[in-house]
Structure 1
Amino acid sequence: MIPAIAVRRLDKRFGATRILRGVDLMVEPHERHALIGPNGAGKSTLFNLIAGAARPSAGRIELYGADITRLAPAAICRRGLARSFQTTSFFAKLSVFDNLRCAAQIANRDRMRWWQRYTATREGDGHAEQVLEAVGLAERRDVIAGTLSYADQRALDLGLALASGAHTLLLDEPTAGMNRAEAARAVELIRTATAGRTLLMVEHDMDVVFGLADRISVLVQGEVIATGTPDAIRADPVVRAAYLGDIGDAAQGAAG
């Protein structure tokens, strides 16, 4: 099976500082894959490289077998990969629906011709309505996006990625800044709304990671030191020594 995302021997240097050191990472189609590690491990740098926001010093990145290593972010998005950020990114003065409508129209633009524009707009609006329901914002359809609660803003951020038509999603700390109840609701939303899609996420909340991910990769000092199921990662002595420590015991207790 061709991996959804394949990162091969990826290096990134900033001057003399080597941030990523020959990273190999495989994310399978329709998998929910978490990337964890201490601050400064290189997680955000790796996300930037996969999304095209930066260029690697060496190595290769593939999306369903196609080389995207040197493509610009917009070109990667058109191939079906969308990214959400730690801070929400939307049109604050537009309604929730109009934000989703914009993302849906961008997804349809390659198929649009001037004589088909009305039909394409109707298709985009229909898709935006479906996403509105999927992310639980139907009752806030006409609310100005900038006035949403923080949790609803993150739901809208996820909706924008879905409305773009992406089959592969990069989620950067999707529950950051949420309380326990909000984080639990966000996990269920991600689980249901991204069904059938491939998900790679960076997340520091171990309850979220162990509760949502099918597999986990651990990045420490620019290197992937382990990849496996949540149970395998929780029990890995190398991972526990390098990163999890008592967190692993807490996650074990929460899961028990």
Structure 2
Amino acid sequence: MTALALRLDGIEKRFGATQVLRGVDLDVREGERHALIGPNGAGKSTLFSLIAGERRASAGRIALRGEDVTRLASAALARRGLARSFQTTSVFANLTVRDNLRCAVLASLGGGAGFVARWLGSKRIDVRATELLDALDLAYAADHAAATLSYAQQRALDLGLALAGGAHTLLLDEPTAGMNRAEAARAIELIRTMTAGKTVLLVEHDMDAVFGLADRVSVLAQGRVIATGTPQVIRADAAVREVYFGAFGQDAQTDAGAPDA
């Protein structure tokens, strides 16, 4: 039996009288790329925030590699190998690209006494930052301010920040949002290359990105998972087609709407 990186059992989330998630069950296997899709308002962003430890579930259980992490905050989850990127860039605009990556590597080592000394003198930090610069094709811009990068390059740097600490499980929130077709294709290839051997759970509206990257896809609608399967199975599922009003047909269009609940 394939080991599970993430397991969600009966996850519910209420905001006052409003119930956003209604008993979500989801298994993400070790080493797979798993996409979570659904119409705006389905609860994708809320579910991501629960998995990432930014909010607490109203009911249910979240396990990371078999450990119950339902009530752990994001910092504790990061120490256990879970990292998240966001819908919008989260780089430090005024720092150089290299120093953005050095900060992320250093953060993964923990703060406390000796923080400045490690920043100034750790060869380990510099080596890891250089490895990431090369992998991201950003070595040429290493000493440029992150603000000078294009939007797509900043999203690539975001991925590098998430990977800097050696996380085994990555949550990617709309990694191709705001990109044109060529930029999105490059982002997909970068994710495929840089996450080899890691577990990825991504929320994405771009169906080309989903079907080009994911091993399995889960569909969230009205706070529940209504289908899980390979991209081919999901594409052919009548219930899924109904939810998307034909979004997987030949006339499919990318849903680039606002973030959902």
With the length of structure 2 as denominator, give the TM-score of the two structures. 0.91
The runs of 5 or more residues in structure 1 that have no matched partner are 252-256
Cα offsets for 1:7-49 (capped at 9, x unmatched): 1100000111110010001111110000000000000000000
Counterpart position of 1:80: 81
Q: Which has the higher helix share?
A: 1
Partner of 2:178: 177
Q: Could you say what secondary structure the match of 1:132 adopts?
A: helix
Displacement of 1:112: 8.7
The alignment-based identity, stated in percent, is: 66
Q: Specify the alignment match of 1:13 in structure 2.
A: 14
Determine whether 1:94 maps to 2:90: no
RMSD: 1.9
**2:224 aligned residue:** 223
What is residue 140 of structure 2 aligned with on the other side? 139
1:125-177 C-alpha deviation (Å, 9 max, x unpaired):
11111111111211111110012100000000000001122111100000000
Please give the per-residue CA displacement for 1:52-75, whole angstroms capped at 9, x wherever unaligned.
010000001111011111111111
The alignment partner of 1:247 has SS state of coil
Q: Which residues of 2 match residues 193-212 of structure 1 at below 5 A? A: 193-212=194-213
Letter in 2 for 1:37: G
C-alpha distance in 2 between matches for 1:242 and 1:174: 23
**Counterpart of 2:153?**
152
What corresponds to 2:259 in structure 1? none
SS in 2 for 1:248: coil
Could you list the structure 1 runs, at least 4 aligned residues long, displaced by more than 6 angstroms after superposition. Answer: 110-114
Q: Quote the Cα distance in structure 1 between the aligned partners of 2:233 and 2:142.
A: 42
Give, as a single letter, the amino acid of the residue that structure 1 aligns with 2:148: T
Amino acid at match of 2:194: A
Match of 2:48 in 1: 47
Q: Which runs of 5+ in 2 are unaligned?
A: 253-261
Query: Partner amino acid for 2:164?
Result: A
Alpha-carbon separation, structure 1, partners of 2:52 and 2:233: 28
2:57 aligned partner: 56
Q: What is the CA–CA distance in structure 2 between the aligned matches of 1:162 and 1:185, rounded to whole Å?
A: 18
Q: Aligned pair in 2 of structure 1 residues 111, 162: CA closer, same or farther (>3 Å)?
A: farther
Structure 1 residues 217 and 122, CA, compared in 2 at 3 Å: closer, same or farther?
same
Measured after TM superposition, the shift of residue 120 of structure 1 is: 7.7
- Partner-residue secondary structure (3-state), 2:19: strand
- Are the counterparts in 2 of residues 8 and 22 from structure 1 also a CA contact under 8 Å? yes
Q: Normalization by structure 1: what TM-score? A: 0.93
In structure 1, the residue corresponding to 2:159 is in which secondary structure? helix
Residue-pair matches, total: 250
Pair 1:214–1:244, CA change in 2 (3 A): farther
Give distance in 1, aligned partners of 2:135 and 2:168: 15
Q: Is the 8 A contact 1:3 1:27 kept in 2?
A: yes
